[in-house]
Every structure is written in C-alpha cells, then in structure tokens.
Amino acid sequence: MESIIEYFSTITSAHRSAILIGGLMIFFLLENALPLFTGTHNKWKHSGLNIFFTFTTILVNFFMAFILVGTSDWVVAENVGLLQVTSDNVYYHLIVGLLALDLIGAWLPHWIAHHVKWIWQFHLIHHTDQHVDTTTANRHHPGESLFRFVFTTLAVLVIGAPMWLVFLYQSLSVVLTQFNHSNLKIAEWLDNPLSYVICTPNMHRVHHHYRQPYSDSNYGNIFSFWDRIFDTYLKVDNTKLIYGVDTHMELHETQSIGNLLKIPFSEYRPHIEYDEEEKL
Ligand SMILES: [Zn+2]
C-alpha cells in the first residue's frame, strides 16, 4: 500500500500519458479482434476525430492541474473534508475516497449534463458518435472537460482527498472509461458479475442509444453502484442499439471537428418526441 501511495504521489505526466495511451491501444486491439458491431466506417478517420477531443481534454486538465494539486494540498494541510475529519487509515481513504470521488466527481456531473440544457449542449458532442468504441471514451468538448474539472476539484474539496488518491482515481477512471466504451464483444457470464461492481461495456452501451429514455440511464464511470442506488440502471440487449443522439444524426454535422466545437453555441434542439414507445 505504501508503494502505491508513493507511486501515485509522485506520478509524472509521462506515466499518466502512458496509462492513457497504453489503455487505448490494448482496448483498440481487443475490440478489433473481438468486435460486437462490425461497421464499414473509416476507423482511422473516426479515431482521429476522437483522439483530437481526447487531446483537448488532456490539455484542459494539464493547464488546470495546479488548481487541483493546490486544492488537495490545502485540504490535507488544513484537515478539511470528509476523509480528513473522519480517519487517518489509508485503506479507509482508498475505498471511501474512490467511491466518493466517483460519485461527486463523475456520476453527479454526468447526470447534471443530461438534465441542464446548456451543459447538455456541450455533453452531446460525446453522444454524437455513431460508432462507439474505446476512442469515444474521452471525446469531450473542451467546455465539458472544463465543467468536469470543476466537479473533480469540488469533489477533492468535499472529500478531503490527498493527491495520491486523486491521481490513482484519475488513472482508474481513464482505463475504466476506455473499457466500458470499447466495442469488445464480452460474454454475459463475465460481464454480468463484473457489472455489480464496475461499469462494464454491456452496461454502459445503452447510454449511447440515440433515443430517450435509454440515453438517460447508466451514467456510471468506475462503479456501477450509483445507477442501481439512484434508480438510473438499465439493462438491454446490446445488439439492438443504435448509437448517436436523435437531434444530431446527420453525418455532415457530427464528423467535422469545427462543427462539433460550434454545436454548444448553436440553438438548442429538444429531443424528438416519438409516437410509438420503443422496447429494447
Ligand atoms: Zn452521457
């Protein structure tokens, strides 16, 4: 445990990048060997666009990192936040800290992004992908990256999270998101038990279905508990899914970086009301 704390306290940007790129490569190879959907789209063009948005996400987090580190150092020095006032036990910090960071730093802002119109305008860029795979994981508009960063900082403040825990959480979060967005065909006997603890691909995919109410479910990032607790958990047959978002299905709108960057500043489009109910 000491070595984990030591490693993540002093983790370099190079190691953090290696985790992100390594995860991306592993899941890219796995999903190409064992794909759920076999599309005829241009995978390189698709990945290129998503990697552009991954890069802007990294940039936002890189330039704002001093705020996160400053907040974490301050809560530890001043004994502020849940962990700091309850116990010094590192295992307690590890388990409660990871759970709370996941809830306040990821699940909550994701739920808000689906329920507050102007934030949805940014988040929908993530949902416009009609070929969800591991590269979709960090396809976020820079405005959303900033919004998520604010919530991560808020979570660190409320939880009193030391920096080793924040870096460990972010590393787990990167790999888990790459995993649950991957187009990997994963057997139910493996996915189902895992989905009681972590968000698995078979669980997360329905969140990318083009229609409501399916897209307003399974907001989880690392842990699957939150959707079960807050009654936003859904389980469907993944083979029937159609990825995208009903308001933005035109390819010319969703395959250009320039247009995707502009969407949050264009007119809000309400979700389409369908005559018939859809049963997946
Ligand atoms: Zn979403």
Give the pLDDT confidence of 11-29 residue by residue, as tens digits: 888 898 889 999 999 999 9
| pLDDT single digits (tens) 243-274 | 999 999 998 888 899 999 999 999 888 888 88
Averaged pLDDT, 228-239 = 94
Ligand 1 centre distance from Cα of residue 111 (Å): 8
CA of 219 to the centre of ligand 1 (A): 6
pLDDT tens digit sequence for 111-133 = 999 999 999 999 999 999 999 99
Domain with 248 in it: 13-264
Query: Can you tell me the distance from the alpha carbon of 56 to that of 142, in angstroms, rounded to the nearest whole number?
Result: 6
Average pLDDT over residues 57-62: 93
Whether 6 maps to a domain, the answer reads: no
Residue 154 lies in a domain: yes
Which amino acid is present at 158? V
Q: What is the pLDDT of residues 213-226, one digit of tens each?
A: 899 999 999 999 99
- With respect to residue 231, please indicate whether it lies within any of the assigned structural domains: yes
The answer as to whether 275 is a domain residue is no
How many domains does the chain fold into?
1
* Mean per-residue pLDDT of the chain: 94
Q: Residue 198: helix, strand or coil by DSSP?
A: strand
- 196-201 own/partner pairs: CB under 8 Å, 24+ apart: 196/224, 197/223, 197/224, 197/225, 198/222, 198/223, 198/224, 199/223, 199/224, 200/224, 201/36
In a domain, 269, yes or no: no
Residue 101, domain member (yes or no): yes
- Cα 110 to middle of ligand 1, angstroms: 6
169 CA distance to ligand 1 middle (Å): 20
Closest CA to 120 of 131, 128, 112: 112
Residue 64 lies in a domain: yes
Cα 144 to ligand 1 centre (Å): 11
Q: How far is the CA of 90 from the centre of ligand 1 (A)?
A: 32
Over the stretch 162-188, which tens digit does the pLDDT of each residue have? 999 999 999 999 999 999 999 999 999
pTM (predicted TM-score): 0.94
Residue 43 lies in a domain: yes
Report the 10 Å Cβ neighbour count for 243.
21
Q: How far is the CA of 27 from the centre of ligand 1 (A)?
A: 20
